[in-house]
A = this chain, B = another copy of it.
C-alpha cells in the first residue's frame, strides 16, 4: 500500500498525481465525482435549511448553533466555543459580538485566568434556546434516519470514517512536513 507523500500537490508532484488518477478506470472516476457532488450537496443544503430555521427566531445559522451549544453545555470560553463550531477565534469573536449586542449572551472575564473570557447565555438566550425545537444540522440527522436503514447507517459510517481518517492522517502528515505549527486538535 503506497501512500502519497504530498497530499496537497505542488507542481513537482503533479505528474505523479496525474499518473495515479489515470490508473483509475473511468467508471470509478465517475463514481468519485458523484460522491463528491453528493457530499457537497448534502452539506450546503443542510446549511441552507439551518439558516432558514434560524431566521424564524431572528437568528443566523451560526448564532443558532451557539445558543444550542451554550444551552446544552453551559458557559464556555471563546476558544472552547471556537473548537465546537470549528471556526477560528477571530470569527467567533464577531459572532459573539453581535449576539451580545442582541442581549443573547454576555462575556465574563475568568477569575483564574484573566486571559480567558467565558461566554454565557443570558436569560433571554436561555428562553430562546427553549423555544428552539431544532438542533443544528438536525435536518441532516433526520434525513439520515429516514432515508437509510440502520444497517446502511452502520455501513455509511464505516466508509466515511475510513475516508475521514485517511484525510486527517494525510493532512497532519503534510502539515508536519511543512513544519507548520498548526496543532492537530482532535475531537
Size band of the interface chain A makes with B:
35 or more
- With A39-B39, A142-B17 known as contacts, the answer to whether A159 contacts B155 (CB < 8 A) is yes
Are B145's CB and A8's CB within 8 A? Answer: no
State the copy count for this chain: 2
Are B164's CB and A38's CB within 8 A? Answer: yes
* Cβ distance A115 to chain B, nearest Cβ, rounded Å: 27
- With A21-B142, A145-B24 known as contacts, the answer to whether A34 contacts B157 (CB < 8 A) is yes
What residues on B are CB-neighbors of A8 within 8 Å?
49, 52-53, 139
- Residue-wise, chain A 153-185 has the 8 Å CB interface mask toward B (1 for contact) of 111110111111111101100000000000000
What residues on B are CB-neighbors of A187 within 8 Å?
37
Q: State A141–B31 Cα separation when bound (angstroms).
A: 10
Q: Does A28 lie at the interface of the complex (its beta carbon under 8 Å from any beta carbon of B)?
A: yes
Are B134's CB and A9's CB within 8 A? Answer: yes
Pick the contact of A148 from B25, B146, B156, B163 — CB < 8 Å?
B163
Stretch binding the partner chain, chosen from A40-48, A90-98, A103-111, A121-129: A40-48
Q: State A56–B12 Cα separation when bound (angstroms).
A: 13
- With A8-B53, A36-B140 known as contacts, the answer to whether A163 contacts B42 (CB < 8 A) is yes
A residues contacting B by CB (< 8 A) are 1-4, 7-11, 14, 17-18, 20-21, 24-25, 28-29, 31-46, 49, 52-53, 56, 86, 133-134, 137, 139-148, 150, 152-157, 159-168, 170-171, 187
